[in-house]
Amino acid sequence: MIIFVSFKKLFQTFLWLFTAAALYVFYQFIGLNMFFLLVIGLLALKFVPVLVLPILLIGVGVHFSGDFSFIADGIVWGFWGLVSLPICYAFAGTIHSTMKQRKQEIK
């Protein structure tokens, strides 16, 4: 049994108990990924405030995708975008020149 010496220690103990219960409920509500980002975001807010915006953007991505897979999806989309960009540019150039020729033939 714990014997409290002062009301300050009693209040502090109840505050820690309340904090632990709130974190448990919050963890059950939002999940491990968002809980991890919340902790990282709060630490960044305290020590490196410039990283709050990137962490916030990652948090939004995690919220809408459900996990961190949106990062891998973004890398794959970027890769396929870089591969298909020259092909699309060449196709658009061909269509543009064909349209110019047909326009001149009509005149």
Task: Express each pLDDT in 65-83 by its tens digit.
Answer: 877 888 888 899 999 999 9
Report the chain (107 residues): mean pLDDT per 10 consecutive residues: 75 91 83 81 88 86 82 91 94 92 86
Residue burial 57-85, b: 16+ Cβ < 10 Å; e: rest: ebbebbeeeeeeebeeeeeeeeeeeeeee
**Pseudo-torsion of CA 87, 92, 95, 96, nearest 10°?**
-140
Q: Please state, in angstroms and as integers, the Cα–Cα distance from residue 58 to each residue in 5, 30, 41, 81, following that order.
A: 46, 15, 10, 21
